[in-house]
Structure 1
Amino acid sequence: MIKIRVQNMFILTWIKNKQAILRKAYIMSTRRCNIREGNFLNEQDW
């Protein structure tokens, strides 16, 4: 019983991580269209 529960938890967290990664990728792809060049300067300052 415990093994099955742990496996289910692992699968659920894996699915959540997948969804989070997909959401991040989607946000990044949509944001890329709206970025102004000024935002890139801050990243390259270091």
Structure 2
Amino acid sequence: MNRTNWEHAGIAAGLMLAVFLPLALLAVPGASIAKRCGPRLQIER
């Protein structure tokens, strides 16, 4: 019982890492781009 619980926890952690790592890598340049382009977009409106 204990081992299967750890296996499920490992699978869940692996899935979370697989989802959040690419998102974090995309969010960092996205945030810097938003900082540069944000004021321009607000001025255009």
- TM-score normalised by structure 1 residue count: 0.55
State the one-letter code of the partner of 1:10: W
Identity value in percent: 3
**Stretches of 4+ aligned residues off by more than 2 angstroms:** none
2:18 to 22, 33, 37: 22
Considering fraction of residues, name the structure with more helix. 2
RMSD: 2.0
- TM-score normalised by structure 2 residue count: 0.56
Mapped to 2, the partners of 1:32 and 1:16 lie a distance apart of 24
Q: Which runs of 5+ in 1 are unaligned?
A: 40-46
2:27 to 14, 26, 31: 31
Number of residue equivalences: 34
- Aligned residue number for residue 5 of structure 2: 9
